[in-house]
Amino acid sequence: LLDIIKAVKSGQISASHRRNYNRVCANMAKAGADAVVLACTELSVMGIPTAIRHTAVDALDLLAEATIRQAKG
């Protein structure tokens, strides 16, 4: 994942990075993960992996929603 995060930071995301990202997440699911939490903003840029068939939560989305709710009062 560190290679993927570095690619996002440098703006150099390739098809290979996307494949690896999906492979890592698929492997976690095969290992028994019930959910995936994207708690790193660089991974939020990559989006929810297509390999995920379980619950996926993007912390950046939750933060944005909470900020909007707070701003609206």
pLDDT digits (tens, 9 = 90+) for 23-37: 998 898 889 988 888
Collapse the DSSP code of 1 into the 3-class scheme (helix H, G, I; strand E, B; otherwise coil) and give the result.
coil
pLDDT digits (tens, 9 = 90+) for 40-51: 889 999 988 877
Q: Which residues contact 57 (CB under 8 A, 6 or more apart)?
A: 35, 36, 37, 38
Tell me how crowded residue 62 is: count the other CB atoms within 10 A of its CB. 13
Residue 53, pLDDT score: 75
Residue where the block lists tokens 């570095």: 6
pLDDT digits (tens, 9 = 90+) for 52-70: 777 889 999 999 999 999 9
Strand partners, 57: 37
The Cα 50–Cα 56 span in angstroms is 10
Q: Do 58 and 40 contact (CB within 8 A), yes or no?
A: no
Residue 66, pLDDT score: 96
